[in-house]
Amino acid sequence: MPKCKINGKEVDVPQGTTIIEAFKASGQEIAHYCWHPGLSVAGVCRLCMVQIEGQPKLQIACNTEVKEGMVINNNSETVKDTVRWGLDFHLINHPLDCPICDQAGECGLQEQYMQFGKYDPEMAEHKVKKCKVVDLGPTVVLDSERCILCSRCVRFTDEVSKTHELGIFERGDRSEIGTFDGKPLNNKYSLNTVDICPVGALTSKDFRFRQRVWYLKEHNTICTGCSTGCNVKVYYNEEGCWRVKPRYNPDINGYWMCDEGRDIYKFINKKNRLQEITMTEKGVSKVFQAEELLPQLGLELKNAVQKNPESVALILTGQYSCEEYQSLLNLMVKSWGLKNVFHWVNHPESMEQFDGLLLRGDKNPNTKGLLNELDLLSLTQTWKDLEEKLHRNLIKHLIVAGPENLATFSDVKEKLKLFSSANKLIWLSAGIFEGVSSVCSQVVQIPTKTFFEKEGSYINHKGMKQRVTPGVEIVKSALSLCEFVEGLHHDNKGAHFQDMDSALVDTKLKEPLKENFFTATRGSL
Amino acid sequence: MAEANIQNKNNLFQLSPEGKEFVQGELSRYENKYSAIIPCLYRCQKENQGWVSPACIRYLSQIMEIPEAHIWEVAKFYTMFNKEPVGRLHIQVCCNISCALNGGRELADHLCQTYSLNAGEVSSDGMLTISRVECLGSCGTAPMMQINESYHENLNPEKAEQIINELRAKYGS
């Protein structure tokens, strides 16, 4: 464990630690762009310069190991002057138009400039003009002029996605990031290049020029797109959610996440959501308040189960939290005596698939949690059993805790057809699916809260339990399954069970969710 | 020829059996196979009418097992790899310091004018391309030019024209 001194502070680090890592460990700031903790060392930006006592020249902190007794600083005038000049050289060809850059507000270069900028540039040379809108592929756009050639994105496609699409072509001040012969940057992890781009060179087609980042709030949660459970933050404002980015977790996703997972903000936005509790009978739909409908529904179901347990069935998807499964099963199985509980698997053929990095074929966040709960109660009926019972018209009442993220359920239509032999369908889902209301002679649709609006825990593929907390309230009348259960056995009309999670919510969304005018008019591909 | 070359742009490319053997030899020569990229690109350029086409890169990527982007990085970095088709006679006139002092730049302009070509352009008969290049390492014999793989030194405009006309007659037939 070599000991060193950084800006006068004693630091103890493991053998092999680089100086830049020691800076991070000791909580001190150091200028850098090209270095990224999840990638190899390139040493090309020359900004992490430090002075080491006894060494005549400055060294780069990212590629120098800490040795016993080193005395290091980055606050001497020599270092500051070097960083200032280094930064000025980076800015020779970089446009100075931060106000119209999409990266403004979260730009490494901008932040460095505030701290180390010369503020009085001495460059007389004209800037080299390059292409401003390069369509790199289905997800990413490149502005070559903003690129400072740190090579993070190139190293990402070489080392992490291993797809090798990107390279640095030409040389000197004509150097540019690009792909070979127009081949698109098209891999399942391509948007990570946007995250690690320290400037506004790589931008996401989905997010660019939609929002100013300083107006967005972030909420830490997990991705529910598959059973990996990557740690993410969702960025939102009063109009809704706008983007998802990964959060570092060495045990699950490291620094990265897949492109598919970045779309999960879409299904939680209001325009894609089921809004009201409705009951449809003979083609006529009526909107209900939870307080009026649920106690009566609870009584009806309870009587049905107790009269004939075979006539009621509960279908669960792997989309909900452990707590929700527990409370639903507690009520229906333990206290009512329900026997018919089934697991709806959305992708049986690809459940076990894994792409070797993060993406899993099981497109549910909590299959493991659901299976645990079913095991505990020895509920072992299979989907085949359900099909048989439905065909024999044994089941009259069907309660379906359906998909939260409809995009990952390609089989809804087919399943609804199967359900149509029941008399009454109670359909819980966050999203809108055409035709649900006409499946059975009586259909109750109940909007559910998404992972972004409730508290609960999810167990990922390797058995790690992760907790989420509510970020915002998006659909006012949506219920978590816990709240649904609370409502079912509530005798007390008008009781306030619906806002269990809402006390934790800090922002409520304003209406309506409007499209950003500038998205359509700014720039073209 | 130039047209044939341009058509070739999207076609498949393959090295000759000797060329393939050469690539295998280069791959085993170096500790790191990336070191073999330059000689292999040269070989492709030679066997592909003097330029490195995207098809060449794809082919090399396959047989060398190196991503296309990384071979393309090398090809784009070095100016001695032609990324566009060139004429059968690729005339590279040195315009760097020693040649420039001895009239190299004027020589390049003169040749362009004589043959009505812009620098880098292929003549309509596919015979000529004139390029201005940096130092070719023959400063003692300035001004000089390189035609395909041979040097022609101590030039003046008349001498250069004469050499080109002779070669054109020889290759044109």
Joined tokens for residue A491: 């005798």
CATH number at residue A173: 3.30.70.20
CA distance A97 to chain B (A): 29
Same domain, A55 and A137: no
Nearest residue on chain A to B73, alpha-carbon basis: A169
* pLDDT per residue rounded down to tens, chain A (525 residues): 899 999 999 999 999 999 999 999 999 989 888 999 999 999 999 999 999 999 999 999 999 999 999 999 999 999 999 999 999 889 888 988 898 899 999 998 898 888 888 877 777 888 888 999 999 999 999 999 999 999 999 999 999 999 999 999 999 999 999 999 999 999 999 999 999 999 999 999 999 999 999 999 999 999 999 999 999 999 999 889 999 999 999 999 999 999 999 999 999 999 999 999 999 998 899 999 998 899 999 999 999 999 999 999 999 999 999 999 999 999 999 999 999 999 999 988 999 999 999 999 999 999 999 999 999 999 999 999 999 999 999 999 999 999 999 999 999 999 999 999 999 999 999 999 999 999 999 999 999 999 999 999 999 999 999 999 998 889 999 999 999 998 987 654 444 454 455 444 444 444 444 444 443 333 444
Tell me the chain B residues in contact with residue A179 when contact means C-beta distances shorter than 8 Å: 69
Q: Quickly list DSSP for A204-226.
A: ETTTTTT--GGG-EEEEEE--SS
Question: Looking at the complex, does the CB of residue A158 fall below 8 Å from at least one CB of chain B?
Answer: yes
What pLDDT shows up at residue B126?
93
What pLDDT shows up at residue B55?
96
Tell me the chain B residues in contact with residue A167 when contact means C-beta distances shorter than 8 Å: 67, 69-70, 72-73
Question: Looking at the complex, does the CB of residue A173 fall below 8 Å from at least one CB of chain B?
Answer: no
**Residue that terminates a domain, selected from A242, A270, A298:** A270
Please indicate whether, in this complex, the C-beta atoms of A167 and B57 are within 8 angstroms of each other: no
In a domain, A362, yes or no: yes
Angle formed by the axes of helices B17-29 and B54-64, nearest 10°: 60
Which A-chain residues 177-196 have CB contacts (< 8 A) with chain B?
179-181, 183
Which residue type, as a one-letter code, is found at position B7? Q
Same domain, A193 and A317: no
- At A232, is the secondary structure helix, strand, or coil? strand
Tell me the chain A residues in contact with residue B77 when contact means C-beta distances shorter than 8 Å: 169-171
Whether the pLDDT of residue B1 is over 50: the answer is no
Please indicate whether, in this complex, the C-beta atoms of B72 and A167 are within 8 angstroms of each other: yes
Please indicate whether, in this complex, the C-beta atoms of A169 and B72 are within 8 angstroms of each other: yes
Q: Please name the residues in contact with B27: beta carbons below 8 A apart, sequence gap of 6 or more.
A: B33, B36, B64
CB A427 within 8 A of CB A315: no
Q: Please name the residues in contact with B145: beta carbons below 8 A apart, sequence gap of 6 or more.
A: B91, B92, B93, B94, B107, B151, B152, B155, B160
What does CATH list as the number for B89-172?
Answer: 3.40.30.10
d(CA A47, CA A70): 20
What pLDDT shows up at residue A454?
93
Tallying the residues shown for chain B, one arrives at 173
Question: Looking at the complex, does the CB of residue A170 fall below 8 Å from at least one CB of chain B?
Answer: yes
CATH number at residue A500: 3.40.50.740
Same domain, A149 and A291: no
Please indicate whether, in this complex, the C-beta atoms of A183 and B77 are within 8 angstroms of each other: no
Q: Quickly list DSSP for B82-104.
A: -SS---SEEEEEE-SHHHHHTTH
Please indicate whether, in this complex, the C-beta atoms of B73 and A166 are within 8 angstroms of each other: no
Question: Which structural domain, as residue segments, surrounds residue A457?
Answer: 271-508
**Residue that terminates a domain, selected from A253, A270, A287:** A270
**Residue that terminates a domain, selected from A90, A108, A139:** A90
d(CA A373, CA A379): 9
d(CA A255, CA A462): 18
Relative to beta strand A424-429, strand A442-447 is parallel
d(CA A259, CA A261): 5
In a domain, A105, yes or no: no
Question: Looking at the complex, does the CB of residue A164 fall below 8 Å from at least one CB of chain B?
Answer: yes
Whether the pLDDT of residue B172 is over 60: the answer is yes
Whether the pLDDT of residue B8 is over 60: the answer is no
Question: Looking at the complex, does the CB of residue A373 fall below 8 Å from at least one CB of chain B?
Answer: no
Tell me the chain A residues in contact with residue B64 when contact means C-beta distances shorter than 8 Å: none
What pLDDT shows up at residue A431?
95
Tell me the chain B residues in contact with residue A168 when contact means C-beta distances shorter than 8 Å: 73
Same domain, A277 and A246: no
Residue A107: phi, psi to the nearest 5? -105, 130
Angle at A73 between CA A68 and CA A74, to 5 degrees: 140
What pLDDT shows up at residue A490?
62
Same domain, A225 and A365: no
Joined tokens for residue A380: 């072992």
Tell me the chain A residues in contact with residue B62 when contact means C-beta distances shorter than 8 Å: none
Average pLDDT in the B85-89 region? Answer: 95
Same domain, A296 and A445: yes
CB A234 within 8 A of CB A241: yes
CB A298 within 8 A of CB A487: yes
- The edge-to-edge listing of strands for the beta sheet with A202-204 is A134-135, A140-142, A202-204
What residue segments make up the domains of chain B, in order of their start? 2-77, 89-172
Please indicate whether, in this complex, the C-beta atoms of B72 and A166 are within 8 angstroms of each other: no
What pLDDT shows up at residue B10?
54
CA distance A358 to chain B (A): 23
In a domain, A120, yes or no: no
Domains held by chain A: number:
3
Joined tokens for residue A353: 């698939």
Please indicate whether, in this complex, the C-beta atoms of A181 and B57 are within 8 angstroms of each other: yes
Question: Looking at the complex, does the CB of residue A248 fall below 8 Å from at least one CB of chain B?
Answer: no
Lowest pLDDT segment from A258-262, A467-471, B9-13, B169-173: B9-13
Please indicate whether, in this complex, the C-beta atoms of B70 and A169 are within 8 angstroms of each other: no
